Structures are given as structure tokens and as C-alpha cells.
Amino acid sequence: MPSFFTGWDLLLPIVIYLGQRRAIWEGILIVLFNSHLYSLNSSAPIGLFVCYYVGFFFFARLVAYIVYAQTPPSVFTLLFLVTILARFVLPLISQSFDQSIFILSWANWNLWNLILNSVLGFFIYLVLGQLDRLTLKVPPRSITLGDNIL
Amino acid sequence: MATGRKYYLVALLSSVTCVVALYVYVHRQGRTTWIDSGIISITGALQSGVSGIAQGVKGVVDHYFLLVDAKKRNEELESEVSALRSKVVSQEEILLENKRLQEQLSLKAKEKETLLAAKVVAHDVSPDFLGIRIDRGLSHGVQLGMGVIHTNGVVGRIHRVTPSYADVITVLDPSSNMDVIIQRSRARGILSGQSKSLTGKLKYVDRLEDVKVDDLLVSTDFGHIFPKGMMVGTVTGVSPNSNGILQSISVKSAVDIYRVEEVFLVFPPRQSEKAIN
């Protein structure tokens, strides 16, 4: 099957969004539940994806203190860098669960997958942003930055 | 205020670490709690429904829209069937001869495994792992570690069971290790999966062993998990390892994991009666 149908990680942009835009206590509960759900639908050892996504949640939280991704270029750059970082982090975490995912395997560095995940993640990020605006979780327009895109 | 926030963060991080550690401990070695079983039942039912709809749409497309080359393909298959028929006849002859000779040597007839058909309802959500979910569970007699096969060859083993569904680790999954032998030379090795590449690696094969490209890998009957001699894969590449003792062998699986729709669970001889009941 082509990698187009198999290389998606839809949860990662959601986790990054929660890490950037939500309170820690609220985000961590959603991330813990979703990553457990993800684990139950995967053959990976339970706990691997929980460590992976919780780690990225806190990473996104820390990044939010430096870069608050709000404009489309900053969101896309953040997601592209996270997608690349994820290729290193998952094999490293998987080593502690006795899994043999090789960091330097060419299959891990499929450029098409990196771009696809970044673009898909970008759109998920946009949709979540719009959803927050529709539910009035955030103000419909940013007062400080004027007519913002997200 | 800043100190209070710092303490709050440290407390939160510690709590999350403890929760995750406890959670990993509880779930070690494929154990599932009643909450997990409940979640898997819900997601399994959803996946089963989606899978059914997808199969229906695929069936319509395959049977009504993609029949352009059906006649030509039918002729090819007919000629293949006739060739295979003659092979089957000669193999039946060998089988009868083998049986006759065994009787003469007074060997005890080997107990047979029982198979139970199952439908694949979902594939792994992660692109880095290659598991599948089937619609058979504890209520059908499925147990942890049971073998799963397909008409083309070995698929994998059960690694998580709930009352209605079971999860299978396929032979190409990074956490899979399976004892196999090369059919031609009878060399033994361990087949391990590799992430994403859809190929496996045959490990611990001495460099002096006779292994060639296109050699067939078959299952052994260690632990009575799979029927002996079941096709597992084909050797696609052989090269000497850098340390000079072993060979580096890549293997292509006999079963295309992403296309498999129905599988069979292998009940060991002792459990066969229970499965039938």
C-alpha cells in the first residue's frame, strides 16, 4: 500500500494545539485519554504512545513560552519541525519498550510523509482554531493583533 | 506568585509521571482492564461498521466497474488452475506414500490443529506498527499467544484479547520475533519485523549457512503455535554482516498485511475440542 494511506499521524497536531492553546490541567487530561485510546488501537506496547504524546504536549507548552504559533507560517513551521522531531523521538522512546524502530531507516525519512503530515497537521490546527472561535473558547478576533488569520 | 506557580508545575509533572508509570505497570505484557475492554468493544464495533461499509463499496466497484480485463484474467487463471491440479495429484500421491510408510514404521499420527475463521475489522492506527484487529475474542476461545494464519501464509500472533475482539501482532511488526527455517537448506533463524518498510529481517543465521535470494521461509512447530511448514516469506536480499559471524538477510512477508481481509486462528491440538464446542 502506498505510504500516502499509511503514514498519517492525526493526533500529533491536536496534541501540539492543546499544548499551545489550552491550560495544562485541561490539555493533559485530553492528551492522556486520547493517547490511551490510540494505544488501545495499536499493537505498540501500552504506555509507549502515552509517553510520546505527553512528552510532545509538554514540549509544545514549553515552546509556547517562546513562540506562540498564531500566524499560518509560524504554525506550519512549528508543525514541520515537530514532524521531523517526532521521527527521532518515537524510535528513542520505543527503545525503552524493547521495540526495534530504527532512527536511521530510510523508511522513517520519507520526505513525502513529512510534508503530508505537516500540511495535514496545519489544516487540523486551523480547524481546531476555528472550532475554539465558534464555541467562544477564544475571542472571535484578536484585539492586540487586529484581524488575525487564525 | 512565581514560586507558587513553580510548585504547581513540579507537582503536576510529578503526578503525571507517577500516573504514567503506574499505568505502564498495570498494562505490562498485554494485560487489559475492564475499562480497556469496554473501550475496545466500542472502537471495535465502530471499526467493524466502517470496515463493512468500505468492503461493500469496494465490492460494488470491483464487481461492476473493474471488469474490463476479467475475460483475459479468467483464461490465465484457468490455465494456472489446470497446472496446479496436476501438481496436487502428484502431491496427493506423495502424501499417501508417506502415510503408508509411516504406518509401516508404526509412527503415531500427528494431532491436527483446528482453525477458526475471523474477519479483519481494523488495521493499526500508527504507521510505525503493523497490527490488525479481528472480530473474535475470549468468547470464541481465543487466547493470548495463539497463531493467526492466512491462505497465503503466516500472519502473526494474538497479543491482546477482549470478550469480542482480539489484536494481532503481525510478523512484520517491530515487536514480533518468530522462529523460522529456510525450506531448501533447513537453516534456522529468527524473523523480526521492521517498522514501516514492510520487510522483515532474518537474524542469527551463521554466515556458513546456505541462504540464497528467493529461498522460502517456513514455520516450525515449536510451541504448536503455527502448523509446521506454513509459508512465512521469501528471502529478498543476503549480505554478510559487518561483524563477520552472521548474515544480514531481508525477507518479504508471504501475506500482504494491508490487503488481508480474512484470517484463521490456529487452535493447538489440546484446545481444538473447546473451539469446536
Kindly tell me the burial class for residue B216, based on how many C-beta atoms sit within 10 Å of its own C-beta (0-12, 13-18, 19 or more).
middle
Q: What percent of chain B has pLDDT over 90?
A: 12
Q: What percent of chain B has pLDDT over 70?
A: 87
- Cα separation, A81 vs A86, in Å, equals 9
Q: What is the pLDDT of residues B134-187, one digit of tens each?
A: 999 889 889 888 999 988 889 999 988 888 899 999 998 888 889 999 988 888
Residue of A nearest to B124 (CA): A42
Structural domain boundaries in chain A: 3-134
Interface predicted TM-score of the whole assembly (ipTM), two decimals: 0.77
CATH code: domain B114-277 is 2.40.10.340
Q: What is the pLDDT of residues A105-133, one digit of tens each?
A: 666 677 777 888 889 889 999 899 888 88
3-class DSSP state of A108 = helix
- Cα separation, B266 vs B114, in Å, equals 6
- Best mutation target among B126, B130, B172 (most A Cβ atoms within 10 Å) is B126
Task: Give the lowest-confidence range in A114-118, A134-138, B133-137, B200-204.
Answer: A134-138
- Cα separation, B130 vs B194, in Å, equals 9
Residue B171, phi-psi category: left (phi > 0), alpha (psi -120 to 50), beta (remainder): alpha
Of B194, B146, B173, give the one whose Cα is nearest residue A43: B173
Q: Contact A43/B129, CB-based, under 8 Å?
A: yes
B273 pLDDT band (50/70/90 cuts)?
low
3-class DSSP state of A22 = coil
What's the pLDDT at B80? 87
CB atoms within 10 A of CB B262: 11
Residue A95 makes CB contacts below 8 A (sequence gap 6+) with: none
> Chain B residues contacting A, CB < 8 Å?
9, 12-13, 16, 19-20, 23-24, 27, 30, 36, 39-40, 43, 47, 122, 124-131, 133, 159, 167-170, 173-175, 192-197, 258-259
Cβ pair B218, B232 in contact under 8 A: yes
Q: What is the pLDDT of residues B52-85, one digit of tens each?
A: 888 788 777 777 666 667 777 888 888 888 888 8
Structural domain boundaries in chain B: 71-104, 114-277
Range B213-224 average pLDDT: 86
Kindly tell me the burial class for residue B233, based on how many C-beta atoms sit within 10 Å of its own C-beta (0-12, 13-18, 19 or more).
buried
* Sign of the four-CA dihedral B205, B208, B211, B216: negative
CB atoms within 10 A of CB A99: 20
Residue A6 makes CB contacts below 8 A (sequence gap 6+) with: B127, B196, B258
Contacts of B261 in chain A (CB under 8 A): none
For B263, list phi and psi in degrees, rounded to 5.
Answer: -135, 175
Dig out the grid coordinates for B150 from the structure: 492466512
A46 touches chain B (CB under 8 A): yes
Q: How far is CA B209 from the centre of its chain?
A: 26
Strands (E), B124-198: 131-134, 147-150, 153-161, 166-170, 177-182, 188-193
Contacts of B127 in chain A (CB under 8 A): 3, 6-9, 113
Q: Is the pTM of this model over 0.90?
A: no
What's the pLDDT at B157? 92
